[in-house]
Amino acid sequence: MELSTDLQLLCNSAEFKELANFYANKSILDIVGISRLEKVHSNFLYWLFNINESHQLGTIPFRNFLFSCVGQKYRMIGNYELVKNMEYIFPNDWTDILLPYKEQYDITDYKIEKEYYIQDVGRIDLLISCKLRVKEEYQSAVNKKELDMLFIIENKIDSFEHDDQTEHYYNYFNNSEEFKDKQKVYIYLVPDVEINKPINENFLPFQYQDAINMTISKCLDKPMSEETRAILNSYLRCLTFPSDKDNSIVAITDKEIDLVNKLWEKYSKGIKFVLTNRDTNAKSIYTMYKELFDNVFYISVKYKTYFDNLGKEDLEEMEKLTKKTTAMYEYKGETYKRNGGKYSLGRLALAIVKEYVNKQNSNVDTILKDFGAVCATYHKIPLIIEEKDIKKPEYIDEETGKSLYFIEKDEVFEINKKKYVLYAYWDNSEIQKLVEQTKASVKML
């Protein structure tokens, strides 16, 4: 195969080979098939944040995490406006004190627990109690010299909050005599804060990309044993592209972003050549390294603001090939997932709406009032329509010629002796809203 100069430069580059090698090596969690189990990640975080653990990094990981809390606080308020009154996390004059590389404060009375059991409430994934005290030489910079902290961390990977967990946790800790003197920080740790949001607004939506990847990346700059370094690198690998294509992407590592950035800087012509499949050699190269290129395209789309050489046409082409976010729900013994296609989540919506109709004996106006604002569909059509209208042109997908509604006999539901069908193409945020909307009247997820 005779390759063009641009393709040769791309495929022979050190960055390309390093990225290919990174994806060729699976993490141990991926190999044994447990890389998306929440308990596994909670256990890892327990090990990482425990200042007396075998990693022998002492307080470094926890200090990194504390400082990432500061960054997340401002990022969340500035970009997403998902949280309110977040000043309680740390006083503003503590921002510089918490810089991890200066160690301007001491950590005392440290205690970390996993699966902290609260009778009649549930189990919080991680509970960390400690005191932070500014060292004497820096005390003039702050008004409050010591903080007595409690971190309540709820961890989600491929699932969403159920049974109002964050509401119950917040009410318990906020009213607990045991922790009444503690300054409480509520954290909701998820892969994507735009898709998976806590019900209780006092929980800080915290993204793995920021909280964990940043924490570990900063650790890797420190001296450590080969065993600890191997564990950290393997864990980072398990967060990113999984071997099981149905599993979600939890976070992209700094290493991947850096390598993809260098590829765009040095070999953008070769990438674009492959992207647009301009000749048979480009197609062959794409087939040979399909996983690697698909990952490059995903990272490029997800973090497009990081890269200077991306044009609008490049992004449009790559968006066609990138993996969509996965979400997973369990409902009435069934599992519903979204990974590119939307029908599975649509079937979850169908199950919820049908049960709601049966239990509430609702009329159409009530359903539209309750759910109409929930389903902000791409097609901008009604949430439910009468079965007799399913063949109208506006309810047919122009590209596929298929109905935009569930139209099989077992999918149709009845309201006041008329038959109706439900819109089929639901996304993650709409399902989350639907769950919240119906939780008061139907036993939900």
Tens digit of each residue's pLDDT (9 = 90 or more) over 292-304: 999 999 999 988 8
Please check whether residues 116 and 199 belong to one and the same domain.
yes
Summarised one tens digit per residue, pLDDT across range 308-327 is: 878 888 888 888 777 655 56
Summarised one tens digit per residue, pLDDT across range 387-443 is: 999 999 989 987 778 898 999 888 998 888 899 999 888 876 677 777 766 665 554
pLDDT tier for residue 131 given thresholds of 50, 70 and 90: very high
- With 70 as the cut, is the pLDDT of residue 266 above it? yes
pLDDT tier for residue 445 given thresholds of 50, 70 and 90: very low
pLDDT computed for residue 159 by the predictor = 78
Please check whether residues 162 and 222 belong to one and the same domain.
yes
Please check whether residues 144 and 213 belong to one and the same domain.
yes
Please check whether residues 378 and 412 belong to one and the same domain.
yes
Residue 445 lies in a domain: no
> Average pLDDT, stretch 202-220?
87
pLDDT computed for residue 353 by the predictor = 85
Provide the domain limits for residue 282: 5-19+246-319
* Range with the poorest average pLDDT among 39-43, 90-94, 365-369: 365-369
> Average pLDDT, stretch 207-233?
91
Given a contact cutoff of 8 angstroms between Cβ atoms, the answer to whether 209 and 193 are in contact is: no
Residue 420 lies in a domain: yes
Please check whether residues 62 and 174 belong to one and the same domain.
yes
Number of domains in the chain: 3
Residue 25 lies in a domain: no
Last residue of a domain, one of 297, 319, 341: 319
Summarised one tens digit per residue, pLDDT across range 133-179 is: 999 999 999 999 999 999 999 999 877 787 789 999 999 999 999 99
Choose from 340-349, 382-391, 429-438 the range with maximum mean pLDDT.
382-391
Please check whether residues 290 and 153 belong to one and the same domain.
no
Residue 66 lies in a domain: yes
pTM of the model: 0.75
Please check whether residues 202 and 275 belong to one and the same domain.
no
Last residue of a domain, one of 239, 263, 281: 239
Please check whether residues 166 and 70 belong to one and the same domain.
yes
Please check whether residues 39 and 154 belong to one and the same domain.
yes
Last residue of a domain, one of 319, 342, 366: 319
Please check whether residues 206 and 80 belong to one and the same domain.
yes
Residue 208 lies in a domain: yes
Residue 381 lies in a domain: yes
Residue 167 lies in a domain: yes
Residue 357 lies in a domain: yes
Please check whether residues 199 and 130 belong to one and the same domain.
yes
Please check whether residues 60 and 174 belong to one and the same domain.
yes
